[in-house]
Structure 1
């Protein structure tokens, strides 16, 4: 009889161990922590600091997380309080994935560096043939006190406040003035080079006037004749008398700024003779376009650009 009881106890113990093994195997297969994100810093934590843990838990069907057994907001463990808990979930055919966000705040009055920990948590699962749970281990950190032990009068340990050192801005002011001057000169230069108006000095030269007139002329036979006449008038004004093709060398000697456009000027006089005194060989639109380009380039030479 005694041997029979002993055998029964042995069998019951083996059965319990077998059930525990099955339960542990079910826990691993039916629920799994995908990731745990602990606080980045585990040292120099002070009173009032908030520490966050994020857990992603994957639970297979038909199990689901038991919301009734979750840790309660405001619960304290060793001077660490759970200040906030939030859960989001996404379902799939295989089961449910839970994103659990836990935030803890440190409340302790120790005056020496100490090792504290975010408490271990246990997440219960329901809905299956047996109850399962997933354990989240504790996370340890170093707590640093704000004041050392034995300090009774804070005023005696206070430091004098000093005004921040002033920065000498004079060199920056000088650079700003110089750069502003360069910017203004550059802008005036761009206006001087590209503008056609008369309100700036040295902008009302002979070819500047001719260029403005050409821009207003119609693109027809009368406009072409007037454009050629305006260009000749500009050459005559600079030359001091009527300028003919055989006098171009004298003109360029007196006005060397136009030497770089010698070929273009000679081509203009040839085009002018063909248009005014011979059979026209160039289309009106092309002639007006060429005169516009030439007048602008002559205007730039006139301005010394």
Structure 2
């Protein structure tokens, strides 16, 4: 931090009697002393070294705000750190802003301010020094004389020709991609104009069975069996019984992977609805839902 403030440095030493001089040194560092323009921020740091028993009175610190019509104090921050030998250093960071519109290069005075330290009931006043910075104008006041008045005006900068074709091609490509993605979503969701496609009977059955699974009783299992039977019948376009499974799979090759599970489903259905005993034919409600979802997935991939 200290390396940034090399342009200006002020040192005030206090040489009064040791009992009264608790403040040992005051140094002011500024980032630079020249090259400022209206609106610039000016950073400075005031370093005060004093006896560790001393306390800086915060009420004596300058308050941010307008100092005059040319200068504002924007910010002030205080950091306290021990430096050894019973001494403490107060680092006071100051940020000013310039509002002076200079017509030529000149110095701008930064006003001093006083700080108070309290030590064993006694108050000592420390004065931060005044200092100056060089401010410069943004433009010349009197330009060089020219015979032709138009010479005082600079021509407008030419506008570089732009390529209008490339952005249009890119925009068209992105629109085409967006429309393609929208068409895929519409087909998957059955939105117009795809809403008249063949119904997904197994997807509807799977949703119905998922609701029945929450009940989990025997009546729910019977209703789930019936829902899946109706979906198989709708997919085949006719009533399907256990002996029709081979013909059903032959006509709907997408369901071939579930053939063994369909055989077990029909065996469980016979046991449930017709009392035909068949070892291992008791199909739980969860497996019925799993079969319905598997058939729904094959139904979706086939369309």
Q: 1:182 corresponds to which residue? A: 180
Of residues 286, 290, 300 in structure 2, which corresponds to 1:293? Answer: 290
RMSD of aligned residue pairs (Cα, Å): 5.0
Q: 1:84 corresponds to which residue? A: 72
Of residues 153, 156, 170 in structure 2, which corresponds to 1:172? Answer: 170
Number of residues of Structure 1 aligned to a counterpart in Structure 2: 262
Q: Does 1:22 align with 2:22?
A: no
Q: 2:269 corresponds to which residue? A: 272
Native 8 Å contact 2:14 2:23 kept in 1: no
Task: Point out where structure 1 has 5 or more consecutive residues left out of the alignment.
Answer: 1-19, 75-80
Q: What secondary structure sits across from 1:103 in the alignment?
A: strand
Q: Which has the higher strand share?
A: 2
1:272 to partner: Cα distance = 2.5
- TM-score, length-normalised on structure 2? 0.60
User: How far apart, CA to CA, are the structure 2 residues paired with 1:203 and 1:158?
Assistant: 73
Task: Look at both structures and tell me which one has the larger radius of gyration over its CA atoms.
Answer: 1
1:268 to partner: Cα distance = 1.9
Q: Does 1:207 align with 2:205?
A: no
1:83 to partner: Cα distance = 1.7
User: How far apart, CA to CA, are the structure 2 residues paired with 1:290 and 1:37?
Assistant: 80
1:239 to partner: Cα distance = 4.2
- TM-score, length-normalised on structure 1? 0.59
Compared with structure 1, are the counterparts of its residues 215 and 63 closer, same or farther at alpha carbon in structure 2 (3 Å cutoff)?
closer
Compared with structure 1, are the counterparts of its residues 28 and 55 closer, same or farther at alpha carbon in structure 2 (3 Å cutoff)?
farther
Compared with structure 1, are the counterparts of its residues 30 and 299 closer, same or farther at alpha carbon in structure 2 (3 Å cutoff)?
same
Q: Does 1:225 align with 2:222?
A: yes
Q: 2:42 corresponds to which residue? A: 52
Q: 1:11 corresponds to which residue? A: none
Compared with structure 1, are the counterparts of its residues 297 and 203 closer, same or farther at alpha carbon in structure 2 (3 Å cutoff)?
farther
Task: Point out where structure 2 has 5 or more consecutive residues left out of the alignment.
Answer: 1-12, 81-87
Compared with structure 1, are the counterparts of its residues 293 and 229 closer, same or farther at alpha carbon in structure 2 (3 Å cutoff)?
same
Moved more, 53-62 or 225-234: 53-62
